[in-house]
Structure 1
Amino acid sequence: MNSVDSCRVLLLFVLCFPLLVTSAVLDDVCSTTPFPDFCIATLRPDYRVPYAQGPQFIGILMLDMVDLNNQQVISNLKKLADQAKDPADQGALLTYASGYGTINNRLLPDARAAFAAPTREGNVAAFPPLVDAAHIVVTYSKWIKQLGPDLSAGSDFAFKGTMICASIARSIIG
């Protein structure tokens, strides 16, 4: 092997090594969650994964995915509420949208701040809001799943994502 080939191999290794390491971090963290395949499939395409430093960062990435998912669920629920002829149906749909709004506007930011905390004790604070978020999703999922496949998939995503994050937070607790 000549020196040019050696340089190419070294360059390829230097460029790919962070992806291999990050892949291992992602796989290790996701493997400890209740939905490892979902965790890996959801996060692997994220451009920030190569910078993952540990479980807290993986948790933050999943929180971002849940937030985006929930924004779509809220939008779909509000559209259905606008189209509802029965005031009771409209009220129920807006209640569901409000519940997902609480998750996105209060619970996920609290969990994100806790994951970003510089101490283990700070990271531990991510667990309670994630349990609350999962509880809201479970409470509404029975009815939301009856509203169509998009909302059913959104509800499943919200549940799995919050449970993955809660599992990560729980692993930090020890």
Structure 2
Amino acid sequence: MNSMESCRLLLLFVLCFPLLVTSDLLDDVCSSTPFPDFCIATLRPDPRIPYAQGPAFIAVVMLDMVDMNNQQVIANLRKLADQAKDPADQSALIIYASRYGTINNRFLPDARDAFISPTKEGKGAAFPPLVSAAQTVDVCSEGIKQLGPDLSYESDFAFKGTVICAYIARSFRD
């Protein structure tokens, strides 16, 4: 092997090694959650994941994705409320949109702040708001189903994403 080939091989190794380490980290983190396939499939394409420094970073990326998903849910619920003919349905849809807003404006920021804490205990503090977020999504998705609109994918995404983050937060509490 000549020196040019050696340099190429070394460069390839240096460029790919962080990806291999991160891939193992992502697999390890996701395998400790109740939705490992969803976790991996959702996070692996994100361009920030190759730079993940640990489970808390992975959780923050998932929180960003849940936030974006919930913004779409809120927009869909408001649109459906505008189109609703029954005032009770309209009111319920507005309430559900407000609850998703609470998730995005309170629970997710509280969890994100906890995950960026420098201490293990601080990171573990993300657990309660994430449990509240998952419970809120669960209650809302059941109510929305009774009204008829099919937002099951978005609700499922929000539920699984918050539960995955809660499991990551719980790992800092053990």
Aligned to 2:45, the other structure's residue is in SS state coil
Query: How far off its partner does 1:144 sit?
Result: 2.3
Match of 2:149 in 1: 147
In structure 2, distance between residues paired with 1:112 and 1:130: 10
Q: Is the 8 A contact 1:33 1:167 kept in 2?
A: yes
Q: Is the 8 A contact 1:123 1:172 kept in 2?
A: yes
Q: Is the 8 A contact 1:111 1:127 kept in 2?
A: yes
- Answering whether residue 107 of structure 2 is matched by residue 126 of structure 1, we say no
Aligned to 1:60, the other structure's residue is in SS state helix
- Answering whether residue 165 of structure 2 is matched by residue 165 of structure 1, we say yes
Aligned to 1:147, the other structure's residue is in SS state coil
The aligned amino acid for 2:51 is Y
Aligned-residue CA RMSD in angstroms? 0.8
Match of 2:92 in 1: 92
In structure 1, distance between residues paired with 2:123 and 2:19: 25
Query: How far off its partner does 1:64 sit?
Result: 0.6
Match of 2:81 in 1: 81
46-55 or 105-114: bigger deviation: 46-55
Structure 1, unpaired ranges of 5+: none
Runs of 4+ displaced beyond 6 Å = none
Alignment of 1:15-164 (within 5 A): 15-145=15-145, 146-148=148-150, 151-164=151-164
Query: How far off its partner does 1:143 sit?
Result: 2.8
Q: Is the 8 A contact 1:144 1:155 kept in 2?
A: no
In structure 1, distance between residues paired with 2:38 and 2:108: 19
Deviations 1:96-155 (A, max 9, x none): 10010000000000000000000111111100000000110111111324312xx11000
In percent, how many aligned pairs have the same letter?
A: 74
Match of 2:9 in 1: 9
The aligned amino acid for 1:56 is A
Q: TM-score under structure 1 normalisation?
A: 0.97
The aligned amino acid for 2:149 is L
Q: What is the number of equivalent residue pairs in this alignment? A: 172
In structure 1, distance between residues paired with 2:100 and 2:68: 11
